[in-house]
Structure 1
Amino acid sequence: CATTPGFYLFKATKYPEIKSLMKPDPRLVWIVIMMLLSQLAALYLVKDLHWKWVIFWAYVFGNCLNHSMTLAIHEVSHNFAFGHNKSLWNRWFGILANLPIGIPYSVSFKRYHMDHHRYLGADGIDVDIPTDFEGWFFCTTFRKFIWVVLQPFFYAFRPLFINRKPISSLEIINTSVQITFNITIYYVFGVKSLVYMLAASLLGLGLHPISGHFIAEHYMFLKGHETYSYYGPLNFLTFNVGYHNEHHDFPNIPGKNLPLVSKGLNMYSGV
């Protein structure tokens, strides 16, 4: 669905009922905890497997879980776990959700992602959007394939080159907690569990079907259409991030309510 940002926001001006959807999602806390416990169980189960099975399960199972967790962190960055009046609780919870991913980024993601919403597509500010260099260099089929494989690295390092911010105390805490967790996994379960955890994140955010939403969200296939929405079954694993036009028009509505945005407004307006 290729609508421009503001499409649903324009329609909602006539329907103030939309504000009833702007509330925290208490289920988010329990879902994150269950995913964290599931990944801890997986770390235990893979510790004695052959290396080929470690990588296999990292790609087939671990990456789906870790990718889903990154979208949970996205929800938490919008304060949907505990509400806007407990923003610090959300930051601490994001650090907890970050643990099975292996790479500290929850606090940094919050800081840069808010710029993405305020300045969508603005060069030098919005680091969620590929740079001009990426668009120029990765212009062939093979180079695009390499770009997809390395997508996690571009997301990680793009802010350092485009819009670097001073390191905050919470980012230092996020990094310290994550390093401590990784070392603990290594000493308790062994190197295979640590590799499984890191591979699950790198593979799950790169060349994998679930990563298709990265391309669908912010790649301008039609001039003037900076975001797209996807309404398929993968939304079940990604906290409805596919409803991306709706999300950008209403960033205060949690993922679980985004399907109600398009459904409700289309119904009210007779579309």
Structure 2
Amino acid sequence: MGQHVSRTDFEWTEDQEPHAPRRKEILAKYPQIKRLFGYDPKFKWIVTAMVLTQLLMLYLVKNWSWYTVLGLAYCFGGVINHSLMLAIHEISHNLAFGHARPMANKILGIFANLPIGLPFACAFKKYHLEHHRYQGDDELDSDIPTSLEAKLFCTTGGKLLWLFLQPLFYALRPVFTRPRSPTKLELFNTVLQLSFNFAVFYFLGAKSLVYMLGGSLLAMGVHPVAGHFISEHYMFKKGFETYSYYGPLNWITFNVGYHNEHHDFPAVPGSRLPQVRAIAPEYYDTLPHHDSWVKVLFDFVTDPDVGPYARVKRQARGLDVDNSKKSL
């Protein structure tokens, strides 16, 4: 299964990332899109309902069989936890309470983090905003696999293994490529999360903890909702570095599939991204897109032209990110 080798290098370009110029062009033609900017007032209630659902499930599964716990972790709990991860993605853009209430956004992110079990809500923002501003940058975009990852997992079997290990790489890659001192809020996020995990284990038992942590890890690997990790920026068609997905799983993932629209207009909440496409269809209907995240995962593993190397990269700009990120 591992004999078919995919690409042997990244797709290097000197072109500017496509989103800033397209944003400028679309706004000049359709200034009404600015009315979509802002936060979604329903968002915080949806997140709260999801967290409460998981808390109830943690109590219910404590006496169920291990087969039931693991099955639910993959099919139900993992889906909710992955959706909460994408809620944290929305929160990183201040789309829960708006830019005027940054601390409220952060608190909701920490709350949404609890059923996930992996403390990342506060640390995610600084790396994700760099991914937006410096998309494809050889040093600043930690969303791109490292050269070592791409080299080690470029065969068919290697790519499948890499998908299973994706939670590990996704969590640790920024630590090695963009190490940063943790903030006080990140430390609080970590201490609170580990305390919550211990409380789940102490009061409810191992099955509840496995349902929580196992669901998060399983749903980040070989799982339909995890297809968005691959569909967003892996180059399935030469010359295109961002792809939207217009399938039904957008309904439970805050429309993260509308990824070209999101990168063009990160100030638009996920609930309104379909309106961006509806207002400016000539800019999006002509771009290659995905209709199935399951097919994305299958093609990623089996197509020798797609793999960890299939990412558009740009030479590092050598910028002082600590200063340049202040405007984000």
Q: Shorter-chain TM-score: which interval?
A: over 0.9
Structure 1 residue 131, shift from structure 2 partner: 1.9
Kindly provide the amino acid, as one letter, of the partner of residue 45 in structure 1: L
Q: 1:223 to 1:269 in 2, by over 3 A?
A: closer
Matches for 1:99-138 after TM superposition, within 5 Å: 99-138=114-153
Among 131, 140, 164, the residue aligned to 1:149: 164
> Which moved further from structure 2: 260-269 or 165-174?
260-269
1-side partners of 2:99 and 2:181: how far apart? Answer: 24
Give the aligned partner of residue 41 of structure 1: 56
TM-score (norm 2): 0.79
Q: Is 2:19 the partner of 1:5?
A: yes
Structure 1 residue 89, shift from structure 2 partner: 1.0
2-side partners of 1:189 and 1:244: how far apart? Answer: 39
CA displacement 1:139-189 (0-9 Å, x = unmatched): 111100001111111110000111111111110000011011111111221
Count of residues paired in the alignment: 269
Q: Which runs of 5+ in 1 are unaligned?
A: none
Native 8 Å contact 1:43 1:197 kept in 2: yes
Q: 1:86 to 1:139 in 2, by over 3 A?
A: same
> Which moved further from structure 2: 168-177 or 220-229?
220-229
2-side partners of 1:103 and 1:270: how far apart? Answer: 37
2-side partners of 1:78 and 1:214: how far apart? Answer: 18
Q: Is 2:226 the partner of 1:211?
A: yes
2-side partners of 1:220 and 1:6: how far apart? Answer: 19
- Higher helix residue share: 1
2-side partners of 1:257 and 1:41: how far apart? Answer: 30
TM-score (norm 1): 0.95
Query: Secondary structure in 2 aligned to 1:56?
Result: helix
Q: Is 2:29 the partner of 1:14?
A: yes
Kindly provide the amino acid, as one letter, of the partner of residue 112 in structure 2: A
Give the aligned partner of residue 202 of structure 1: 217
Q: Is 2:190 the partner of 1:175?
A: yes
Q: 1:59 to 1:264 in 2, by over 3 A?
A: same
Give the aligned partner of residue 266 of structure 1: 281
1-side partners of 2:58 and 2:284: how far apart? Answer: 50
Give the aligned partner of residue 244 of structure 2: 229
Once the two structures are aligned, what percentage of the paired residues are identical?
54
1-side partners of 2:27 and 2:280: how far apart? Answer: 7
Give the aligned partner of residue 50 of structure 1: 65
Q: Which runs of 5+ in 2 are unaligned?
A: 1-16, 287-328
Structure 1 residue 213, shift from structure 2 partner: 0.8
Structure 1 residue 11, shift from structure 2 partner: 2.4
Kindly provide the amino acid, as one letter, of the partner of residue 5 in structure 1: H
2-side partners of 1:67 and 1:80: how far apart? Answer: 18
Query: Secondary structure in 1 aligned to 2:181?
Result: coil
Structure 1 residue 40, shift from structure 2 partner: 0.7
